[in-house]
Amino acid sequence: MLSISNISLLASILIATTLAYVQREVISPQVLLTWYSFMVLASILRASQIISYQRHPSDEAVVIHTRLVRFRLVILISSLVWGAAGWLLFPENNPQHQVFLILMLAGMTAGGVISFSADLISALVFSVSIITPITIRLFVSGDRLLVILGMAVMLYLVFMIMSLRLINRNISDNITLRLEAIKHKELVRASEEHHRLLLNYSPVGIFHYNTDLIITYCNNHLADILQSTTKHIIELDMKLLNDQTLLPILRKAFDIQVVHHEGPFSSSLCNADLWLDLTCTASRDGSGNVTGGIGIVQDFTERKNSEARINSLAFYDPLTNLPNRRLLMNRLQQALASSSRIGRKGALLLIDLDNFKTLNDTLGHQVGDLLLQQVALRLTTCVREDDTISRLGGDEFVVILENLSQHALEAAAYTEIVGEKILAAINQPCQLVTNKHHYSCSIGAVLFNSNSQTTNELLKQADIAMYQAKKSGRNTLRFFDPEMQASITARAALEAELHKAIDKQQFQLHYQIQVDSTHRPLGAEALIRWAHPERGIISPAQFIPLAEETGLILHIGLWVLETACAQLKTWQQNPLTRDLILSVNISAKQLRQADFVAQVQAVVQYYAINPTLLKLELTESMLLENIEDTIVTMTTLTKIGIQFSMDDFGTGYSSLQYLKRLPLNQLKIDQSFVRDIATDNNDKVIVRTIIVMAQSLGISVIAEGVETEENRQFLLDNGCAHYQGYLFGRPLPIELFEASL
Ligand code: C2E
Ligand code: MG
Ligand code: MG
């Protein structure tokens, strides 16, 4: 009301001025001036109220209330001034001016009713205060026409009041409706904002689609999951997607309440392979008709990838990507169960690379890794897709063949074919960094067909078979069979007895003489014997290999060294034996001990013997395995005077390259060449070559296993003047040996 009051105030001042001007002809100037002054005062009051409102509009209920009360007061004042006009400005006998006044007041009343209709009290106060004085004035005039006019004015007032009530109700309703509409709009806006925030910040992708499978809405998170934008996704026709796996699920949501699906999805929007979890439900209109569907999408790609990574780390060998030992054991267990169920045999092949350690030591671990990767690749070409290949660790691989024949022989034949294929594949030259290398492997195979065999047993058996393959020259395949098992049981028994033999000192040394071309004794080879309490004398060939495998050789070897040195010490007392050189066999394990040099030095010092009288016999194969360390060990011992002889020469794989670098004093031609030297032309050539080789390397040469005069003559003719063999003497206990001298 205050906001529109300036117009009505202006109108009221104009009308008041016009009225005063027109009535000046019939009303005394003093009355007119007094009335007009009051009118001006009332107008000033109203104006001050309007200005105060315009300067400080306020929504506070208290302020609004006081303003309303003041407004009504000011309205009362100004309406009383107007009402006074009906009495004071009414000319007695001038009907024209009387009507003019009545019209002015009626107009004011109509204007006030409209202007103040929003407040019933203000409007009532205004209209009643204006009309009442003029009506009374008309009634008291005594003129019949004026009384009737008074009655008409009263009627007018009643009509005005009735209209006022109607207008007021309309306006209040209007205002209430408007306020409610504003409130509702605010609520809707807040709710929309709420939902917008919920949808956009929810950690899942959300979309709506219509019955044509066209997306009508999607939130930001869905755009993030698909690595696209909401603009691209909205209006997308899902029927045109490359990956159609989700379409049946989206359609199913129209019929069933909630559909759930989890699986791979390849998105053409971002060219990525995702793993999505999708929950769909139908959306319906007010009458329950399906209008489309709502989809909730969760992206589990990361989780799935992590799972795959963890799985791979737990079950696969990172170098070759082949199943590791854990997964192998699992698969082997399954293979055993399935083999016993369907009655078909399976086979387990244990593949071990030959000389892998040498490759690793000479070319480095990186090259070793490369070889292992190539081997893994080659193995996959040798077996069927269902067969398992795994890396057991180090240079050991395992292949499981399943679903073979029911007959052991046929199954073994097939296994052999696969084994040969593997051998051939590994034998292919292999490009490692810059050079091509040739490699081989040894394979142990075992057949299985029942649940009663345990996985560990099978692996052990394959390992034994593989060991046999190594023993029989490598690059070959061997089967594990019961006979082998028998010999293994015997071995176990022997091992137990060996332990006892060490405790009970059942070992002895025998001495075999070594002579020159004039039969003059040069020295002897100390050869160990086991004086078994029940079985009598046992040859070293029967227990040294086992002692080497079990590590017992370290004890035994040290005992031999000490006994030999003690013997050398004794020999110093006798001119007949004083210059004899004693050869002692050293096994690979002994030589490779970190403190081997110290051990030899300690023994030599303890017995105070001349170190040049001690000769250590090494074999070729043991030298090759760790050539650099061996050279260091040998050189250190050579410096204190110890001699070295290469035993069983010709049976190993020594290259001249290596021989040249070793500080050797002697080559010992292996007895296998000497034995048939008279008849076998090959052996003749080999022996001649070895002698020439020794001569060119500037080291002495001795032949072992010389049994006949014929042999000796051939050797002598070809430049070998040192011999050891039954022709000159068998290995003998010390007393007999010394007597033979
Ligand atoms: P080896 O070092 O090559 O020893 C020579 C072997 O040939 C000895 O067998 C010896 O008795 C045998 N032998 C010598 N002359 C003849 C011959 O004219 N004809 C035939 N047929 N054989 C002959 P033994 O004593 O049975 O030793 C076998 C192998 O055991 C040795 O071969 C050696 O490698 C190993 N061995 C012996 N004693 C020790 C030892 O104390 N320590 C280690 N680590 N190995 C030993
Ligand atoms: Mg020997
Ligand atoms: Mg020998």
| Token representation of residue 729 | 């003497």
Which pLDDT score is estimated for 373?
93
Cβ of 537 less than 6 Å from ligand 1 = no
Shortest-distance atom of ligand 1 to CA 553:
44
Strand partners, 538: 530
Report the nearest-CA residue for atom 20 of ligand 1: 705
Which pLDDT score is estimated for 389?
96
Which pLDDT score is estimated for 488?
58
Domain 202-305 fold: Beta-Lactamase (3.30.450)
- The alpha carbon of 540 and the centre of ligand 2 are apart by a number of angstroms equal to 11
Cβ of 666 less than 6 Å from ligand 1 = no
| Token representation of residue 484 | 């082998």
Around ion ligand 3, residues with a beta carbon closer than 5 Å are: 647-648, 704
- The alpha carbon of 519 and the centre of ligand 3 are apart by a number of angstroms equal to 20
Architecture of domain 499-740: Alpha-Beta Barrel (3.20)
Cβ of 449 less than 6 Å from ligand 1 = no
Cβ of 539 less than 6 Å from ligand 1 = yes
- The alpha carbon of 527 and the centre of ligand 1 are apart by a number of angstroms equal to 6
Pocket test for ligand 1, best of 498, 527, 537 (most atoms within 8 A of CB): 527
Spell out the long-range contacts of 286-295 with Cβ–Cβ below 8 A and sequence spacing 24 or more: 290/211, 290/254, 291/210, 291/211, 292/208, 292/209, 292/210, 292/211, 292/216, 293/208, 293/209, 293/250, 293/253, 293/254, 294/206, 294/207, 294/208, 295/205, 295/206, 295/207, 295/208, 295/209, 295/250, 295/253
- The alpha carbon of 525 and the centre of ligand 3 are apart by a number of angstroms equal to 10
CATH annotation of 316-480: 3.30.70.270
pLDDT in tens, 118-134: 899 999 999 999 999 99
- The alpha carbon of 540 and the centre of ligand 1 are apart by a number of angstroms equal to 7
Cβ of 705 less than 6 Å from ligand 1 = yes
Which pLDDT score is estimated for 121?
92
Which pLDDT score is estimated for 483?
63
Shortest-distance atom of ligand 1 to CA 528:
38
Question: What distance in Å separates the CA atoms of residue 85 and residue 246, rounded to the nearest whole number?
Answer: 87
Question: What distance in Å separates the CA atoms of residue 320 and residue 621, rounded to the nearest whole number?
Answer: 30
Tell me which ligand sits closest to the C-alpha of residue 669: 3
Report the nearest-CA residue for atom 13 of ligand 1: 705
Separation of CA 295 from chain center: 29
pLDDT in tens, 619-642: 887 776 778 899 999 999 999 999
Shortest-distance atom of ligand 1 to CA 731:
11
Output the 3-class SS for 657-719.
HHHHHCCCCEEEECHHHHHCCCCCHHHHHHHHHHHHHHHHHCCEEEEECCCCHHHHHHHHHCC
Question: What distance in Å separates the CA atoms of residue 122 and residue 114, rounded to the nearest whole number?
Answer: 11
Domain boundaries, the chain: 2-180, 202-305, 316-480, 499-740
Regions of the chain with pLDDT less than 70: 451, 482-489, 624, 653-654
Question: What distance in Å separates the CA atoms of residue 90 and residue 92, rounded to the nearest whole number?
Answer: 6
Cβ of 544 less than 6 Å from ligand 1 = yes
Same fold, 202-305 and 499-740: no
Taking the complete model, does pTM exceed 0.75, yes or no? no
Output the 3-class SS for 617-671.
EEEHHHHHCCHHHHHHHHHHHHHCCCEEEEEEECCCCCCHHHHHHCCCCEEEECH
Shortest-distance atom of ligand 1 to CA 724:
15
Which pLDDT score is estimated for 413?
80
> What element of type H or E holds 582?
strand 581-585
